[in-house]
Amino acid sequence: MKIVQFHNPGSPDLAPHKGMFDENGIEFVQYPEFLTVEEQLKNCQGADAIATSILKFPREVIEKLPDSVKCIVRTAMGYEIVDVDACSERGILVCNVPDYAMEEVAAHQVALIMALCRKLKHYDLFVHSGGWTRQSMIHGYECRRISALTVGLLGLGRIARNVARVMQALGASVCTYDPYLFRETVEGLGVRFCASKEELLARSDIVSANIPLSESSFHIIDAEAISRMKDGVIVVNTGRGGLVDTDALVEGLRSGKVKAAGLDVHETEPFFDTDHPLMQMENVILTNHVAFQSTEAARELEYKAALYAMQGARGEIPAGAVNRQCRQ
């Protein structure tokens, strides 16, 4: 058996678990991720399982993979870089690691919410520029008491539930729109159930996206959605960049409809455009897709990805399989 990992420095590394592969009679090979399609297919020859971080596996690649491939593991929460339908048609399992950084992403989301609510960037820049008067309080947008605010969570999965618990502990009200949950489940968590996205947008002082990126969720926060929000809303995104229409958000910020925004993920990554309007706005906090980061999360991710790759290579169905029905 053979596991092939496409890997670059800084991305999750399965090599520390080579001992586990050796004990199970599995050969482990690494290749760089920046390859031509021809090189990618050549390096997949003889593989029983494949692990990838950023190297995409579209239909045209999957259709040409050798018959030996049983499983593709995305070493991340998302799996949008792998064509799941094409894999299912060939009986290839697709795995992700959806639960390795629940605490970290929730903490980052809460940190963005709190930093924006308390205008920390504004005050930090004021002090660093030599200011030290209460004039800083009257500039920029207004601060609101946390207990006076409603946090609207689009989606109430594991990360969002952690966010809800923390924000409730700080006194905020929390509501959610999640079409996959029953009212009883939501209300049992002390969260207000919204029957539609529109209801959530109208109720919330802070809107945060906590759903996977798909065709149906792409630009779920667009110009129309922003128009339905309260005046002076705060928008936060630690999910996927494509959930928010960047141009619409910029217009919302310019008009004042959106008073502040915190983004860890961006429609275009890496986000290097220093001339982009978001880069110039004092009421916007940008981080570089690092909400998942911690030493503990990295170790957990690498271990689970290695375990799923090994199980997939042996023909088993790992816990992280997203299309297990193709084997049933």
Q: What is the pLDDT of residues 218-265, one digit of tens each?
A: 999 999 999 999 999 999 999 999 999 999 999 999 999 999 999 999
Active site residue 276: no
Where residue 99 falls among pLDDT bands split at 50, 70, 90?
confident
Please tell me the distance from the alpha carbon of residue 253 to that of residue 284, in angstroms, as a whole number: 9
Strands (E), the chain: 2-6, 27-31, 49-52, 71-74, 93-95, 150-154, 173-177, 192-193, 206-209, 233-237, 258-263, 284-286
The pTM (predicted TM-score) of the whole model is 0.85
Give the relative orientation of helices 158-169 and 102-117 as an angle to the nearest 10 degrees.
Answer: 40
Choose, from 289, 314, 324, 327, the residue flagged as catalytic. 289
Where residue 214 falls among pLDDT bands split at 50, 70, 90?
confident
Beta carbons within 8 Å of 245's beta carbon, 6+ residues apart: 219, 221, 222, 223
Residues 83, 65 contacting (CB under 8 angstroms): no
Q: How high is the mean pLDDT of the chain?
A: 95
Question: If you average pLDDT over residues 198-223, what whole number do you get?
Answer: 95
Question: Sign of the CA dihedral 200, 112, 214, 328?
Answer: negative
The helix (run of H) or strand (run of E) holding residue 47 is none
**What pLDDT score was predicted for residue 173?**
98
Residues 245, 258 contacting (CB under 8 angstroms): no
Where residue 94 falls among pLDDT bands split at 50, 70, 90?
very high
Active site residue 299: no
Q: What is the dihedral of CA 291, 139, 128, 234, to 10 degrees?
A: 0
Residues 98, 76 contacting (CB under 8 angstroms): no
Choose, from 74, 108, 240, 266, the residue flagged as catalytic. 240
Choose, from 39, 198, 224, 269, the residue flagged as catalytic. 269
Q: How far is CA 290 from the centre of its chain?
A: 10
**What pLDDT score was predicted for residue 311?**
97
Is 65 a residue whose pLDDT tops 90?
A: yes
Is 98 a residue whose pLDDT tops 90?
A: no
Is 328 a residue whose pLDDT tops 90?
A: no
Burial category of 287 from C-beta neighbours within 10 Å (exposed 0-12, middle 13-18, buried 19 and up): middle
Parallel, antiparallel, or unpaired: how do β-strands 93-95 and 71-74 relate?
parallel
Question: If you average pLDDT over residues 282-288, what whole number do you get?
Answer: 97
Domains of the chain (ranges; CATH) run 2-100+295-327 (3.40.50.720), 102-286 (3.40.50.720)
Specify which residues 165 forms β-bridges with.
Answer: none
Active site residue 192: no
Torsion angles phi and psi, residue 173, rounded to 5: -85, 150
Residue with tokens 């619409």: 248
